[in-house]
Every structure is written in C-alpha cells, then in structure tokens.
A and B are shown apart, each in its own frame.
Chain A
C-alpha cells in the first residue's frame, strides 16, 4: 500500500510540473499588459517601466520561471498585484468558502443520490424509478446558475414569508459573525503555520462554529449554505443516482445474489449487505471524478450566490490579469485534485479486496 501511494505520488510530479509550467506561461500570455491592467489605462510609460521592473517582469521568461520555482519550493506563492497581499493570505481567506460549499454539495449529492439510485434499482421501471430518472436527467441538464437562480426565486421570493424562506446570497446575515478560533481559544498571539491553519479552519463557518459552540451563528451559516449547496450538488447527485442504479442492477443479476436469496436471506439484507457493497465501487470512482466538476460549478455558484470563494477570486484574477493569483490558486486547485484522485484510488483497495494496489 505504502509503495503504491509513493509510486502514485511520484507519477503525479511530472503532471504537476507540466501544470506549473503551463499555468506560468499561460498566465504570462493572459497578462498581456499587466502594468496598465493593474495601475490603470492612464499609467505613463515611465511609471510602467518602473512597475515592471519592481515586480520583476523585465527579466527573461526562463529566469522568471526559475525564480518562480525557487519561490514555490519555499512555499511562497507570491504577492497579488491587485490586492497587494500575499497569495497565501488570500487563500486562507477564500479557500474555506469553497471547501465548505463543495463538501456540503458533495454530501447532499451522496446522501440523496445513492439511496435514490438504490430505490430506483430495486423498484425498476416503477413510477418511483421513472420519476427518479426523470429528475436525474433534468438535474444534469440544468446549468448550475440557472438552478441557483430558480432556487433563489422559489425560496427567497415565493416562499419569502413562510418558514421555508432561505437567504438568497452571502454567507451570514448582517450582524451575525462567527468568532475566529484564535479569538475563542485565546491564541491571538500565534503566528506562522499554526495561525494559518487556525484561520483557515475558522473560515469553514459550519465547522468552526460547531466546535466552539456558537450555535446561533452555526444555524445562520447553515441556512445560507442550503441553496448554494443544493444548486452545486444537483448535477453530481443526478450522476451518482444514475451510476448507483445501473451498477446495482448489474450486481443484482449476479449468481451470488441469487445464492443469498436462495439461502433465505431477507431482501433487505441481500440488497444492503451483499449487493450494494459491491455496487459502490463505480460510485466511488464517479464521486472522485465529480470533484473536478464541482469545482467548475463552484465558480458559477459563487457568482450566483455572491460568495467570495476560490472560483470567484480566480475568475476575477483572470479578468483583472493578476497573474500571481492565477498561478497560485490554480496550482492549489490542481494539487487538491491530484490528492483527491489518489484518495479515490486508495479507497478501491478497501472496497474491493480483489484489487491489489501495487
């Protein structure tokens, strides 16, 4: 197992290097005239020359790339041109929003999608099955932002004065705040990595509010999360439901399932203990693949629901030609993607003992 993980990690190095390389050059092309993009169209040539020199853009591209790699090796992602703040600081501030949103969306997709697929498979061709599959088909066909706007329309406008009313945007209501961990635990003096991790965790409101017992703020954050998480999670939900259904149908046709039934096991035990367990392997693969998709969806969800997350920041950086932010954020996203895929591969070994990881 350890050897497998090590080998996989080694294999991802060339891909990551290619990615760093590509992002670096692509962002140089995107930032056609970074000086005027940052300082404004009216910046004079002298001001621009000075600026270009200050941020090091007057050096040859290979030299810049070398310097960039050196920075990376020290864990320094550079300083944003637009915000004049370190990219790591921006990440600590904005990544939690996206992580929280993605986790809740994925949870929603799994918790609803897997049972839906199982019920569909057991009651094949029944009205329940047909209904579930119609919903699944509609779910994959509706753009995230359209669904998001529909949900806002229903829950924030049509149901406005009912108990089902939900806030249409933002992360917390005005006046509500989740006190950061360093404050609650009296660790305001800490700096460095510990501080970074603590601030990062504090940013995941539904988690930090729960562990510090700020239940009022927790409920408010959770209410704000429902609509975006449902909007973002619907496409994965539909895909997961379909895969679960077809995979379970395949497994239910196998001999050992017939044996289990023949020896008099209750149907519930056959389906849940025997069949579903084996049917979940392709489902796990798909869940892993969904993370990439979820991220693309996060850009749209964040702009629909007015959340300052990674997707929105990256989009703004691309439009505002802030190449330092583009590089840093894409790299982090790509690394996360690679790690998730590794976790998915490793989990195969647990789900299916026949698979030997080498």
Chain B
C-alpha cells in the first residue's frame, strides 16, 4: 500500500487565550490545520486509492489536451496536405519523426497521414474534445433525467412508481447499442443525436440508483424530522435525499462517461453518426477500417486513444467507489 501524506486533522486550536496581544499564534502550523471536514476527508480518501490517482492523472492529461488542442496539435485537423502531396507526401504515410531518424527531407507527421492527407496526430488531439465533450454531456443528460424519474418514482410510489420503473425495464431489456442506433436513425444521423441517444439509453441506470436511495432514505429519522418541521416534499427531496444519494450517482456517472465514450466510438464506427470532417476517434477508425493491413497506424492510434480515455474513467470510477463507500470506512 502506498502511504500518502494525510492533512493533519482534529488538531483544533485550543480554546482560550483571547485578546489581540498574541497575533503570533496565527502563524502556528498547528493552528492553521482546521478540524477535519467532510470534503477534506473525502479528498484524502480518494487520493489514497492508487487506481483513482492513476485515473485522475490520465484524465488530467486528456482534459488538458482537449482544452489546449490548438496549441498541442501541429496541424489543422481538417487541413489536407494535398499541396505537400505535390512535394512528396504520401497518402496514409506512416509516422515520421525527425528526432527518431526519419529522413529530414520528409514532412514531419508524428502519427503519419490518413487517407485524406490529414495529420493523424492533430486529429487525435482534437478528437479528445469530441469524445470528452460528448461523454460528459450525455452522462449529464442521463443523470438529470434519470435522477428526476427515480426521485419521483421512489417518493410518490404506487402506480406512478410501477409505470415509470416498468418503462425503465423495457429500455433495459433492449440491447443498448441497438436502441441507440435506432434512436439515431430516427432522429437523424449526426453526432448531437448520438449524444442524445447515448444519454437516453443510460437513463434507467440512474433512475434505479436514485429510486433505491429515495426508498431507503424516505423512512429514515432525519427525513421524518424535517417533515415534522414542515418541510415540503420537494424540499425534502432536494435538501435531504439528494445530497445523501449523490455518492452512488457520482461513482456510476464516472464509470458511465467511460461507457459513453465507448458507445459514441461504437456508433461512429458502425457509421450511424459522425462525419468525414469531425475529428472523432470512432469515425477515424471507421473511415479507414479497410486499410488495416496497408496502414495500421490510422487505426491503431485512435484505437489506443479511446482505450486510454475509457481506462482513465474506469480507474477513477473504481477508485471513487472504494473511497466513497461508507461501508468500507477506515
């Protein structure tokens, strides 16, 4: 096990010694360490999980890549090197890095060119924006709608609960990828609709989590107490139940983004979403999938990018689950 430095906790400043005559105490390191708070405990728990730290590292790199894509990329992702072609660039030419011994008279392309003379490295860098953006957005959508449905089902109960949850069962009974394909085919084949489809398919998961925590919290004493104090149903849901059911939703959401990245890549791979111009990892693979034996780099590089992203979210999600599970409290 790796030991991490833990912030000093519980070292509250001893009471007493009033008066303005002793300002020096303020600089005492003991005095600066505040009593342990929920957030700091949580953070130190998370940082103690090896997988969470590795996941966070991978994701930080990816988020930075996405944010600073224009700086990191060496070319415009859609700029075709046709002009360079006349100077000797070859379609789907393999990676060429001058520092690693590639002939200096060849144009430098870290991951080579794709079938349209575009720089694969720059496309992969920009692809981080698409994948992360779509992943976050679709899970956000699923969490908002799912928790709402779950909260209503759990809190109202009775027939409402039955109908809502059976509807969720029906969605779950579909193979999710096919349902997503069907939704995209219905709404129109583009990336935004793929985002919607992936979000919709994921709704039941969050609805179930939310419903079960509402059910278990509804009858707990502190909820009864606030009901006795006259708090409205909505108030109880928002201020009492929701904060207490956030943990499983955050954990599932983190894993869910990884899943969403996989699904968006799958949808663009089979060709129902995505286009020639959008630098998206799945469509990059799809466009060149017949070229595996001629130019493996155009497939292997975006493939590794997807894998790394999903790995980051999975590791972080697993770490969060271990860190936030109150049953494993250390």
Asked whether B63 is an interface residue with its Cβ less than 8 Å from the other chain, the reply is no
Answer whether residue A22 sits at the interface, using C-beta atoms and an 8 A cutoff: yes
Whether A333 pairs with B175 at a CB distance below 8 angstroms is yes
Contact of B178 among A153, A156, A157, A314 (CB under 8 A): A314
Chain A interface size, under 10 / 10 to 19 / 20 to 34 / 35 or more: 35 or more
Within 8 A of B (CB), among A135-154: 137-138, 140-146, 149-150, 152-153
Name the distance in Å between B274's Cβ and chain A's nearest Cβ.
Answer: 14
> Please, which residues of chain A bring their CB within 8 A of the CB of B175?
292, 295-296, 299, 333, 337
Structural contact, A19 and B181, CB atoms closer than 8 A = no
Q: Which A residue sits closest to B201, measured CB to CB?
A: A296
A318 near B166: Cβ-Cβ < 8 Å: no
CA distance A137 to B269 in the complex (A): 22
The B297-323 residues at the A interface (CB cut-off 8 A) are 299-300, 303-304, 306-308, 310-311, 314-315
Residue among A29, A146, A295, A311 making CB contact with B306, cutoff 8 Å = A146
A19 and B269 within 8 A (CB): no
A303 to B293, CA, bound (A): 17
Interface members, chain A 27-62 (any B CB < 8 Å): 27, 29-30, 32
With contact pairs A29-B186, A30-B186 given, residues A138 and B178 touching in the complex (Cβ less than 8 Å): no
Given the known interface contacts A299-B270, A300-B266, the answer about A146 and B173 at a Cβ–Cβ threshold of 8 Å is: no
A303 to B169, CA, bound (A): 28
A336 nearest CB across to chain B (Å): 10
How close is B134's CB to chain A, nearest CB, in angstroms?
A: 14
- With a CB–CB cut-off of 8 A, which chain B residues contact A343? none
Report whether B269 and A138 are in contact in the complex, using a CB–CB cutoff of 8 Å: no
Query: On chain B, which size bracket covers the interface?
Result: 35 or more
Q: Is the CB of B258 within 8 A of A141?
A: yes
Q: Which residues of chain A from 114 to 154 have any CB-CB distance to chain B below 8 Å in the complex?
A: 137-138, 140-146, 149-150, 152-153
A157 to B292, CA, bound (A): 9
Contact of B181 among A138, A145, A318, A334 (CB under 8 A): A318
B145 at the interface (CB under 8 A from A): no
Task: Across the interface, name the chain A residue whose C-beta is closest to B272.
Answer: A319
Q: Would you list which residues of chain A between 237 and 296 have a CB under 8 Å from chain B?
A: 292, 295-296
A156 (CB) vs chain B CBs: closest residue: B293
- Please state if A143 and B307 are interface contacts (CB–CB under 8 Å): yes
Q: Does B176 contact A (CB under 8 A)?
A: yes
> A292-320, CB under 8 A of B: which get 1 and which 0?
10011001100110000001001100110
Binding site for B on A (CB under 8 A): 14-15, 18-19, 22, 26-27, 29-30, 32, 137-138, 140-146, 149-150, 152-153, 156-157, 292, 295-296, 299-300, 303-304, 311, 314-315, 318-319, 321, 326, 330, 333-334, 337-338
On B, residues with C-beta under 8 Å from A are 51, 166-167, 169-170, 173-178, 181-182, 185-186, 258, 262, 265-266, 269-270, 272, 282, 285, 289, 292-293, 296, 299-300, 303-304, 306-308, 310-311, 314-315
A-B pairs with beta carbons under 8 Å apart, 8 shown:
A18-B166, A19-B170, A142-B303, A143-B282, A143-B310, A144-B266, A145-B269, A334-B173
Give 6 nearest A-B pairs by CB, closest first: A146-B303, A141-B311, A296-B177, A141-B310, A18-B170, A142-B307
